[in-house]
Amino acid sequence: MAHLAKAQNPPKIGKKRKWKGDGAWAYAFIAVALVVYAMFTAYPVVSAFIISFQEYRPLGSVFIGFDNYVNTFKDSLFWKSITNTVVYTALTVPVSLFLSFAVAIMILPFKKGLQTTFKAVYYLPAVASGVALSVVWLWIFDPMTTGILNQLLSVFGIANQNWLGSSATAMFSLVLMAWLSSHGTSIIIYLAALLGIDTSYYEAADLDGASFFQKLWYIVIPCLKPTTLFLLVTGVIGSFQVFQNAYLMTGGGPDNATTMVGLLIFDNAFKYFEFGKAAAQSLILTVIIAGISLIQFKFLGNDVEY
């Protein structure tokens, strides 16, 4: 049957009438997702929304109107944590995206065996236990001269730094950790997307005598746009919620230099039992992330058709 050897530029879905009646199928296809969503996500979210207007108590919560929101907006620590999170996200997400992309591109030309090895190697850290990771990183950031990073610095004659203990370097340390921690997931997703690019594009470009970087710029990057959008949006969402690193490595210190908004919400919900406040802060956070995501869709998602 249809043997489509040549793919042209993806044309926009034009003929609307052809797709009429498919709506029912579409709903059937997303039915499971929607039911699961309604039950296990929408319901808890609606509960959280209600709780955000309450002083939550397991035995009889009290409705307090917008107090939780007002208090949050007045809370300087909340804004500091938002700033910290934004800084952290801005420093980590684009860099990890670039690193994963570069690694994926570099793996590409090698023979299958080597490709597999590299893929496995980069995927490996993702399976490591979080505890092992934090122990190793504490060793790397050990403030004494015995610490790995400090030993490295001493080669250049620089005195040992108090990495996690000083507000000048604590945030940088967490960022460094994110840069060097596993990018396995993004690399694998990028590789899969790279391999999905139709070779006929390259063939056409080769005929035109395009250089490597021209191909990269005119074929690879546009074709990977949906993947990049995906990794960017999910990366930002993940980064805004991150609290594990700060929780394990610095506990938010020193002097709240590394307090992330995720950590703050966690503390409010569980340390202080101010569940209503935690819910309100989460919803504010959600609005912020949703706004950022919309911007990303706007700039990267023109093939998504809004």
Q: Does 162 bind other proteins (CB under 8 A)?
A: yes
Q: What is the rounded CA–CA span in Å between residue 162 and residue 150?
A: 9
Q: Does 240 bind other proteins (CB under 8 A)?
A: yes
User: How many C-beta neighbours within 10 Å does residue 84 have?
Assistant: 22
> Rounded to whole angstroms, what are the CA distances from 173 to 86, 91, 134, 180, 220?
16, 12, 12, 11, 33
From the list 292, 291, 281, 288, the residue with the least C-alpha distance to 49 is: 281
CB of 127 to other proteins, least distance (A): 4
Q: What is the rounded CA–CA span in Å between residue 122 and residue 104?
A: 10
Q: Stretches 62-70, 84-92, 219-227: which one binds other proteins (CB under 8 A)?
A: 219-227
Altogether, the residues listed in the chain come to a count of: 306
Q: Stretches 62-70, 88-96, 134-142: which one binds other proteins (CB under 8 A)?
A: 134-142
Q: Stretches 66-74, 84-92, 135-143: which one binds other proteins (CB under 8 A)?
A: 135-143
Contact with other proteins (CB under 8 A) among 94, 271, 295, 298: 271
Q: What is the rounded CA–CA span in Å between residue 159 and residue 124?
A: 34
Residues in 104-123 that interact with other proteins by CB under 8 A: 105-110, 112, 115-116, 118-123
User: How many C-beta neighbours within 10 Å does residue 196 have?
Assistant: 10
User: How many C-beta neighbours within 10 Å does residue 173 have?
Assistant: 23
Per-residue contact string for residues 50-89; x = within reach of other proteins by CB under 8 A:
-x----xxxx-----------------x------------
Q: What is the rounded CA–CA span in Å between residue 184 and residue 167?
A: 30
CB of 67 to other proteins, least distance (A): 16
CB of 118 to other proteins, least distance (A): 6
Contact with other proteins (CB under 8 A) among 62, 180, 204, 221: 180
Q: Stretches 66-74, 84-92, 251-259: which one binds other proteins (CB under 8 A)?
A: 251-259
Contact with other proteins (CB under 8 A) among 62, 90, 128, 295: 128
Contact with other proteins (CB under 8 A) among 25, 74, 157, 207: 25
Helix (H, G, I), strand (E, B) or coil at 116: helix
> Rounded to whole angstroms, what are the CA distances from 91 to 1, 143, 164?
50, 23, 17
Contact with other proteins (CB under 8 A) among 85, 86, 174, 189: 189
CB of 306 to other proteins, least distance (A): 6
Q: Does 279 bind other proteins (CB under 8 A)?
A: yes
